Amino acid sequence: MLLSLWRALRLQCIILCTIFLYKALGASNSSSQPPSNLPPAVPSVFAVEANILIDAPINVVWNVLLDFPKYPDWNPFVRSQIVTDTFYIPTQDQQVAENLRLIITSQIPPLTPPVTASSQGNILNEHITRENITHFEPDIYRVAWQDLSLDLLIQAERWSALSVFVDQNGEAMTFYESREEYNGVLAESVQDLEGVGLLEGFQAQATALKARAEA
Ligand SMILES: *[C@@H]1O[C@H](CO)[C@@H](O)[C@H](O)[C@H]1NC(C)=O
Ligand SMILES: *[C@@H]1O[C@H](CO)[C@@H](O)[C@H](O)[C@H]1NC(C)=O
């Protein structure tokens, strides 16, 4: 039973990875796509990804991205993201560091932007997860956190990365990318139930991050 499940997952992974690689190669072939600063994709049942070019200095975007207490003011997807210690007690300074935890409240699908702190979420679309900050690499503008909520059934790690990209007019832009890879026996169900809403969420967050950083 487990073996056949594993085989099915592997087969699906191979198919999806092939599609993903094909698309990735196609995208990197086009001259307008900036080079990626995300780590190489790992094999996954499915992945959700969004990226956007932002006309703001990289440090401005980085500060907006890591200023979790302000997320309710602008983020239509992640309505709240609280840094805690390993006992899920919120930290005083809310600074990001590896091995701290996050309590993330998201709306899947996202709210209709623009949002403010008082925008009402739909309780039926609210998802609360407990995550671990697995990577914090400020010198290369990368951060990742991993869902601990249903650890044995689903593994999901979300990476976010920034890089400087000089466009064809010689103007320096910030390239924001975020990708979450899903594995585990529940991954396929998550894809069926929430795949579209998650993708909308990632895209809505990218668009709202751009608006916030450029303002
Ligand atoms: C990739 O780029 C090359 C040269 O610019 C072009 O000939 C080729 O058709 C492109 N391939 C795809 C899949 O876009
Ligand atoms: C959380 O992430 C840190 C840093 O990567 C790692 O050392 C630690 O084992 C992780 N903790 C859990 C519970 O996954």
Select from 98, 146, 154 the residue to mutate for testing ligand 2; criterion: most ligand atoms less than 8 Å from CB.
98
Whether 78 has a pLDDT exceeding 90, the answer reads yes
Q: Residue of the nearest CA to atom 8 in ligand 1?
A: 29
17: in domain: no
Chain mean pLDDT for the chain: 91
What does the alpha-carbon distance between residue 115 and residue 194 come to, in Å, rounded to a whole number?
A: 21
Report whether residue 99 contacts ligand 2, using a CB cutoff of 6 Å.
yes
In this structure, the residue with its CA closest to atom 5 of ligand 1 is 29
> Which of the ligands is closest to the CA of residue 26?
1
| Lowest mean pLDDT segment, chosen from 4-13, 44-53, 190-199 | 4-13
pLDDT at 70 over 60: yes
Structure tokens at 135: 């990577």
In a domain, 104, yes or no: yes
- For the stretch 135-154, pLDDT in tens is 999 999 999 999 998 878 99
Average pLDDT over residues 65-70: 98
Q: Which atom of ligand 2 is nearest to the CA of 146?
A: 14
What is the distance in A from the centroid of ligand 2 to the CA of 111? 31
15 found inside a domain: no
Does residue 4 or residue 86 have the better pLDDT? Answer: 86
pLDDT tens per residue, range 9-51: 665 665 565 556 555 555 554 556 899 999 999 999 999 999 9
Assess whether pLDDT exceeds 60 at residue 126.
yes
44-71 average pLDDT score: 97
DSSP state of 125: G
* Total domains present in the chain: 1
- On whether residue 4 sits in a domain, the answer given is no
CB 57 within 8 A of CB 214: no
Residue 116 burial (C-beta neighbours within 10 Å; 0-12, 13-18, 19+): exposed
Backbone φ and ψ of 205, nearest 5°: -65, -40
CATH number, position 103: 3.30.530.20
Is 134 part of any domain?
yes
- This prediction has a pTM of 0.82
Other Cβ atoms within 10 Å of 145 Cβ, number: 25
pLDDT at 157 over 70: yes
| Percent of the chain surpassing pLDDT 90 | 81
Measure 108 CA to ligand 1 centroid, in angstroms.
36
- Of ligand 1's listed atoms, the one at least distance from the Cα of 25 is 13
Domain that includes residue 148, residue range: 34-214
- Kindly state if the Cβ of 149 falls inside 6 Å of ligand 2: no
